[in-house]
Structure 1
Amino acid sequence: MKHLVLALMFVAGSLGSDFAYADAKKKRDPSWAITYTGDLSGKISGSITAVAGASSSTAIRGATPVLGGPTFNGSVFLAPGKTGPATIAPFSMTLADGTKCSQGAETRVRANVRNGERKTYHIEFEGALDCDGKAIEIEGFLKG
């Protein structure tokens, strides 16, 4: 009986480490990421995404499990399920240090929707934002 308990503990420990490795690997492959350059530079990314469609636009949001961590959100002006070029407005994001960034009056975030289905949504985007008076250029993606 003692050997059976030890064998079960070994198997459970082995499975646990495999699951932990899979979780760690999953965390290295973010569901969304944005690289920014200009007056500020860096990269934010996360594993939490939300995609919700209406008749003429799709709302997208990216976040991290950390309360107050980096986020972004915007409305993609392309009907749900469709693919191709689109505009995102408004678009805003919060950097890791809490700096808020948004579109200025004359800036635009352009997008290319590669997959418009809600469960497998894939969009790439780029544009210019203002972060508390500092100008940045962004490039990013979201994969649902």
Structure 2
Amino acid sequence: MSSINPTTRPEHQVHGSSDPLPGARGAQSGAVDYSPETIERLPASHLNDQGAPAVHGEGQNAFNSDRPMNVQPTPAGGVAVDGRADLPEGKASMMDKVVGKTEKVLGKATKNAELHEKGELREAGGKAAAAGGAKAPHD
């Protein structure tokens, strides 16, 4: 039986520090091509307000777009349809959580924002919150 002496074992180097990573992940993979020819070929959805290619993180998101079902935060905490503060806080049962999670997944898969929002409300605040009769404890 032989033992390996760590002082005599050769060093293994996967790749040099100046070499690009496999698959060209390190060689200008995140660079944006701003040439006029490339910009002319881009659809309008890939351009920002100034006509330049949109950088990741720009565009519509939950903070700068209208929410489906007009769900708004309430002053007392939680969220509700139309931001109504006079509603009681709903409590989701185990079945509400299962149905809500299913609606969220289906809403994402089918790109149906209203179904996704309804699923989030039901998962957190129960059936009453999804129907607009209660507020959900969180968003």
- State the TM-score, normalizing by the size of structure 2: 0.25
Larger relative strand fraction: 1
- State the TM-score, normalizing by the size of structure 1: 0.25
Structure 1 or 2, whichever has the larger Rg, is 2
Higher relative contact order (CA 8 A, sep 6+): 1
